[in-house]
Structure 1
Amino acid sequence: MGGDVVVAVEDLVMVRPRAGGFAYDADEVALMVADTLRAVAAGAHGIVIGGTRDGRVDPEIVRPVLDAAGDVPVSFHRAFDTLADQKAGLDELAELGVIRVLTAAGASRAVDALDGLRALVEHAAGRIQVMAGGGIDPSNVAEIVATGVDGIHASAKGIVIVSDAVAVSLGTGAPAGEGGYETTDEATAMRLREILRGA
């Protein structure tokens, strides 16, 4: 990331039919295509997907979504980190027409895979963008950017968790009792931007 920092505001829609892994059956792929068509019709600036099978990119998932997206760019999310051979995955995704991968180079946190990120950037050679994501915060963003990645993805979560009591269990997403949810912290987001501008 050389030169001026560009802060882009775009509506990128993640198309994912369910929680869990990233191997989808024909009905799930059909749903992904339908959701992509709806998102594009609603004005989405980009589509974000992931699809794998047996540790490899599954083109039978990626191609139909690319076709449905038309001229709207498609990115591949951190399902990429589950690939057995990430360099081969970059090659295949670039050839298919995906513009970007979101990755921590196979680690849970991008900062724990700096050499891997550098290797992916070098291998991509400008054919496809490498965006780092996973545990990025003001304490580590500068060293992640120094790997040469094309961008970073950060949730800018604050340390405050909003308390939210639920009287009756409504399933795993809303169990009964005292719970809460994380929020994006404006100060953290602004600090990340300041560091990026100075990187």
Structure 2
Amino acid sequence: MTAFELAVQDPAGVAVASRVRPDRIELCTALSTGGVTPSAALIDAAVETEVPVHVLVRPREGGFVYDAAERAVIVADVADAVRRGASGVVVGGLARGAVDADLVRRAIDAADGREVTFHRAFDTLPDRVGGLADLVDLGVDRVLTSGGASRAVEALDELSALASQSGGRVQIMAGAGVTSENVGEIAATGVAAVHASAKRVVRDELLVSLGSGAQAGVSGYATTDEPEAQAIRDALASGAAL
């Protein structure tokens, strides 16, 4: 069966994951920016669910070319996540238009035998075929990708080609816009796993502006939608996604 990774970003999402029981949790915060490293307390709460927790380690929003100070923070956060009981980490970085091999090696060392996923920095590579070969050689366990598209369902042929190229040497996990309605055709590409956030928006109101991305007025924030997360899991479990 195609594995299901549920991306969660808050305590409510952790609680949903504890009930839905996906194959693993990708834990982060600020999913609207692609996700950044979660707090220590949120990691602890997720680990307590006993669902395998893979912590996203990304020091800031924006692109994936990091300076020396940012690389040091990434490696330290990987080690901290492992100490807190994470089953894996999710990292990525680019250098000179290719995979940042030095950063990946350092992250693998800091992960101390736990699984390492290379995140959607992969989708920004000009040469994904070569990038996948590099990641196989580096020894990562998994690559999260949309096939280079905004939504995985728009790149089914590319996902199928990547799954074929991987040859079982690394897992290909499809993510971006995965829903209970399209998970079947995405899983049918032969990917090892799907990654979904199953989000819903909670309406909220800010009385004052808190920043450029949080203006005063009626607004909202995203959290995990339990029925949608359960529907994705059920679709995969029933064989509808095979």
Give the structure 2 partner of residue 26 of structure 1: 68
CA contact 1:48–1:75 (8 Å) conserved in 2: yes
* Amino acid of the structure 1 residue aligned with 2:59: P
Q: How far apart are 1:154 and its partner, in Å? A: 0.7
1:185 to 212, 225, 229: 225
Report Cα offsets for 1:19-47 as digits up to 9, x if no partner: 10000011100111111111111111111
Question: SS of 1:163's equivalent?
Answer: strand
CA contact 1:24–1:61 (8 Å) conserved in 2: no
2:95 to 43, 48, 53: 53
What is the TM-score with the length of structure 2 in the denominator? 0.77
> CA RMSD, aligned part only?
1.6
Deviates more, 1:18-27 or 1:170-179: 170-179
What is the TM-score with the length of structure 1 in the denominator? 0.92
Q: How far apart are 1:179 and its partner, in Å? A: 1.0
* Amino acid of the structure 1 residue aligned with 2:57: V
Give the structure 1 partner of residue 207 of structure 2: 167
* Amino acid of the structure 2 residue aligned with 1:152: V
Change (3 A) 1:181 1:2: closer
Q: How far apart are 1:147 and its partner, in Å? A: 0.3
Give the structure 2 partner of residue 73 of structure 1: 115
Q: How far apart are 1:173 and its partner, in Å? A: 4.2
The 5 Å alignment of 1:6-25 reads 7-8=22-23, 9-25=51-67
Question: SS of 2:108's equivalent?
Answer: helix
5+ unaligned residues in a row in structure 2: which ranges? 4-20, 24-50
Report Cα offsets for 1:105-145 as digits up to 9, x if no partner: 10010000000000000000000000000001122110001
Which structure would you say has the larger RCO, counting Cα contacts within 8 Å and 6 or more residues apart? 2
Q: Give the distance between the partners of 1:138 and 1:11, measured in 2 at CA.
A: 22
Q: Give the distance between the partners of 1:129 and 1:89, measured in 2 at CA.
A: 14
Question: SS of 1:47's equivalent?
Answer: strand
5+ unaligned residues in a row in structure 1: which ranges? none
What is the aligned length?
195
Q: Check if 1:108 corresponds to 2:150.
A: yes
Q: How far apart are 1:67 and its partner, in Å? A: 1.2
Q: How far apart are 1:2 and its partner, in Å? A: 6.3
* Amino acid of the structure 2 residue aligned with 1:193: R
Question: SS of 2:205's equivalent?
Answer: strand
Deviates more, 1:63-72 or 1:174-183: 174-183
Question: SS of 1:126's equivalent?
Answer: coil
Report Cα offsets for 1:127-185 as digits up to 9, x if no partner: 00000000011221100010000000011123xx2121112222134322211012211
Give the structure 2 partner of residue 196 of structure 1: 236
CA contact 2:2–2:191 (8 Å) conserved in 1: no
